[in-house]
Amino acid sequence: MGTMYPANRANFVIRYNLSVADKTRTFQVCSGGVINGQIYNNTILLPPDTTSAHLILTEGATNDGAVELKLTNNILMGDGSGVTPVWDYNDSAITGDHNLYNNVPVMPSDSYALIDDPLLAKPGPENVLWRDYLPQPGSPAINAGIAVTGAPAHDALNQAIGTPPTIGALEPESSSRR
């Protein structure tokens, strides 16, 4: 595929990020294509009170199969205000698995979607500390993800990744750290 799409990006990973109310679009794939891209274990809070649809994922490739991208174990949440966010893609090789959605439409190609409140510590556009996004006891995200090959052993707060992993960027706070 590299010769067909000379400007494509291959074999990249976007993981263990916290995105709080970032504007316009969360992920954009330009027309060059993506081969073997992985976006996993991120926590994404969409911006509130948008006047135009926030693009969660948009891709401009015109040939089916030009984008091979998998979104796994991500939390995507909104506050329910403003215009409903949208997924803008038509490539059959863009897939999702074990993502958790709250006030956000489910990715059309997600093979196993959870729709629930992730029960995070203090999510909100004014809260940008990692600890504000820790899963609390009873969170449906805890140990609800699937293993991803090559994933690190610890999250951004140096907490051990569970088996199975928690959905989102952070594992719950261990009792020894409270």
**Positions of the chain with pLDDT lower than 50, given as ranges:** 1-5, 175-178
Q: pLDDT exceeding 70 applies to what percent of the chain?
A: 85
Which residue from 69, 15, 84 is spatially nearest to 43, judged by alpha carbons? 15
Read out DSSP for 3-65? TT-TT-EES-EEES-EEES--SEEEEE-TT-EEEEEEES-EEEPPSS-SS--EEEEE---STT
Residue 55 is predicted with a pLDDT of 74
Structure token pair of residue 144: 């609800």
**pLDDT, tens digit, for every residue of 128-155?**
999 999 999 999 999 999 999 999 999 9
Q: CA 95 from chain center: how many Å?
A: 12
Distance CA 170, CA 121 (A): 11
Residue 5 is predicted with a pLDDT of 46
Strands 99-102 and 43-45, bridge-based pairing: unpaired
Residue 160 is predicted with a pLDDT of 96
Distance CA 116, CA 114 (A): 6
Domain borders along the chain are 1-170
Residue 98 is predicted with a pLDDT of 98
Distance CA 50, CA 23 (A): 9
Residue 44 is predicted with a pLDDT of 92
